[in-house]
Structure 1
Amino acid sequence: MAPRKVIIDTDPGVDDVVAMLLAFSALSEELEVLLLSVTYGNIDVQNCLRNVVSLFFHVEKEIEWRKSQGKPLGFDSLRKQKPLVAIGPEHPLADQLLMADFFHGTDGLGGIHETHPHFTPAETWKQLFTKAGSSQSPADRIVTTELQNVDAMFIPSQAPADEEILRLLRENEPDTITIVAIGPLTNLALAAAKDTETFLKAKEIVVMGGTIYEHGNVGPFPNQQASLVSEPPISSC
């Protein structure tokens, strides 16, 4: 049986990091993570991207340690399939950016980048997500080329997240990709607006958007969740 293909739309956040670790730890015959589409949410989108890159940085070190100790490597689905990582817009489409850094700290991970800077990878990775061009110096372009030759745990994309979502939906059979949205829905809205027919090829969209039996984490309604409040016009559709 073919593995379930998923796109994870995320604004990490401690909770989203745990979700991604669970996905990467699944058996490769059960789950295939095609794309992490990064959005703003708990914090701004660049800090969210830093957290995604930091996650891969530490997973790679964890795998190296397990190998050196003769332990099972784990992270089966990740080792079988490197996911794409693409960045979405910095702001909502309609409303003012609603920061939720009071949930997980100003960096989304409880301030770990400030208190333990040695846990944060060098910022040269930023150039992997920047299109080479006249805005880059010759030195920057050399660094970018070197970085692209590194066997990283992910594939950086220089295309916007919504375009990568649509590309994957076009290239795969209809009803084979599940979109797991655990952040604000801006990337999904942009993809749907650009090419509705292609967007509807998704098998399903699973949204972390509210609660049934418990109170939500933000008002004014008792069951609301922060991701929906961040982009209300989209969430109401």
Structure 2
Amino acid sequence: MQKKKIIIDCDPGYDDAVAILLAAGNPLIDVLAITTVAGNQTLEKVTRNALRIAKLAHLDHVPIAAGAARPLLRDQIVVAANIHGESGLDGTTLPEADYRVDCRHAAELIVETIMAEPEKSVTLVPIGPLTNIALAARLEPKIVDRVKEVVLMGGGFHIGNVKPMAEFNIENDPEAAHIVFEEKWPIVMVGLDLTYQALATAAVKKEIAGIDSQAAHFLTQVLTRFSENYKRSKGFDEPPVHDPCAVAYVIDPMVMQTRKAVVHVECWGRYSNGMTVTDLRRPAPEDCHTSVAIKLDQTRFWNLITDAVKNL
């Protein structure tokens, strides 16, 4: 079976780490590039984390480029140290990477990678703020027609997390998100309505802890500390692992139910800034290019992750 080519744009981050492990360990996925953006932590910290995760996941042949250190128009973001710690991966042990960051800006690497591959063969998987993706679309508008689809973790049609109706990745750079959502490439929004179903339960953590591999040991550390931080900060008994949901959809679209719906990003509302305004009142028009994820097959999802870790 032909592999699915993806570019992961991320801000590792515990759940970003799970997403990278899932992509690296699944035989259907070909990771062409990894790009980083400030989000869960500063650009310097998340880039270091991406390099180290890539080494663990045997992706050290993949180019990794740093991108935007701040939003397009707004002040520097407030990182999520309360969830991910001061390093972005507190409480975990990883090898130091012995290779360097690509000299290109993330947006340049995204553009050059897409333009070098056959049309409609590359899926963009942004799982952090959308600054790099917006920059890439403006740097070379031709990529919008060449991309197969954009499967992003962000937003929500009924709920937010940093604000009542705004999710962290979108709220951090709503202008960039506006650019991305208004382009006419196919978009699947894997938002909080879906990812809050992807809970790392005690049973899940026990199964992963029973796998004898370096990747499984690291993932156990990730889920343990993520659980502790989420409980302390958000009151969740079990943490939702947001980002791998987007990768899981690329691997197996049947892992979740989606629905076509028009989505716009609010950039100016006093109380709704960063909201992904989703019209679910009626069937979407025929030319609608956006879909939203609704329901997760939790068993199927966690099987993908455990199988990937075993493969690594």
Query: Normalised by the size of structure 2, how large is the TM-score?
Result: 0.53
Residue 198 (structure 1) aligned with residue 143 (structure 2): yes
**Aligned counterpart in structure 2 of residue 44 of structure 1, from 42, 67, 73:** 42
**Aligned counterpart in structure 2 of residue 227 of structure 1, from 152, 169, 188:** 169
Deviation readout 1:132-177 (Å, 9 max, x if unpaired): xxxxxxxxxxxxxxxxxxxxxxxxx111111111111111111110
Report which of the two has the higher share of strand.
2
Residue 54 (structure 1) aligned with residue 52 (structure 2): yes
Q: Aligned residue for 2:80?
A: 100
Deviation readout 1:167-220 (Å, 9 max, x if unpaired): 11111111110000100111111111111123431111111112346x332114
Residue 46 of structure 2 aligns to a residue in which SS?
helix
Inter-partner Cα distance in structure 1 for 2:21 and 2:140: 31
Q: Aligned residue for 1:15?
A: 15
Q: Look up the equivalent residue of 1:205 and give its one-letter code.
A: V
Inter-partner Cα distance in structure 2 for 1:9 and 1:172: 17
Residue 211 of structure 1 aligns to a residue in which SS?
coil
Inter-partner Cα distance in structure 2 for 1:196 and 1:205: 14
Contact between 1:208 and 1:225, CA under 8 Å: does it hold in 2? Answer: no
Residue 192 of structure 1 aligns to a residue in which SS?
helix
| 1:72-111 correspondence runs (5 A) | 78=59, 82-98=61-77, 99-110=79-90
Q: Aligned residue for 1:183?
A: 128
Residue 44 of structure 2 aligns to a residue in which SS?
helix
Contact between 2:20 and 2:54, CA under 8 Å: does it hold in 1? Answer: no
Where structure 2 has 5 or more consecutive residues not aligned to the other structure, the ranges are 180-312
Inter-partner Cα distance in structure 2 for 1:207 and 1:15: 14
Residue 187 of structure 1 aligns to a residue in which SS?
helix
% same residue:
33
Residue 35 (structure 1) aligned with residue 10 (structure 2): no
Q: Aligned residue for 2:260?
A: none
Q: Give 1:107 shift.
A: 1.0
Q: Aligned residue for 1:236?
A: 178
Q: Give 1:111 shift.
A: 5.0
Contact between 1:34 and 1:82, CA under 8 Å: does it hold in 2? Answer: no
Deviation readout 1:12-34 (Å, 9 max, x if unpaired): 0000000100110101xx11000
Inter-partner Cα distance in structure 2 for 1:169 and 1:200: 10
Inter-partner Cα distance in structure 2 for 1:198 and 1:50: 28
Where structure 1 has 5 or more consecutive residues not aligned to the other structure, the ranges are 61-77, 130-156
Q: Aligned residue for 2:117?
A: 172
| 1:195 to 1:97, Cα distance in 2 relative to 1, 3 A | same
Q: Aligned residue for 1:121?
A: 96
Q: Aligned residue for 1:145?
A: none
Q: Give 1:92 shift.
A: 1.1
Residue 86 of structure 1 aligns to a residue in which SS?
strand
Q: Aligned residue for 1:147?
A: none
Contact between 2:130 and 2:170, CA under 8 Å: does it hold in 1? Answer: yes
| 1:200 to 1:106, Cα distance in 2 relative to 1, 3 A | farther
Q: Look up the equivalent residue of 2:172 and give its one-letter code.
A: S
Inter-partner Cα distance in structure 2 for 1:175 and 1:190: 20
Choose between structure 1 and 2 for higher RCO, CA contacts under 8 A separated by at least 6 residues.
1
Q: Give 1:110 shift.
A: 2.4
Inter-partner Cα distance in structure 2 for 1:175 and 1:106: 39
Q: Calculate the aligned-residue CA RMSD, in Å.
A: 2.0
Inter-partner Cα distance in structure 2 for 1:211 and 1:188: 19
Count of aligned pairs between the two proteins: 178
| 1:57 to 1:83, Cα distance in 2 relative to 1, 3 A | closer
Q: Give 1:59 shift.
A: 3.8
Query: Normalised by the size of structure 1, how large is the TM-score?
Result: 0.69
Residue 36 of structure 1 aligns to a residue in which SS?
strand
Inter-partner Cα distance in structure 2 for 1:41 and 1:171: 28
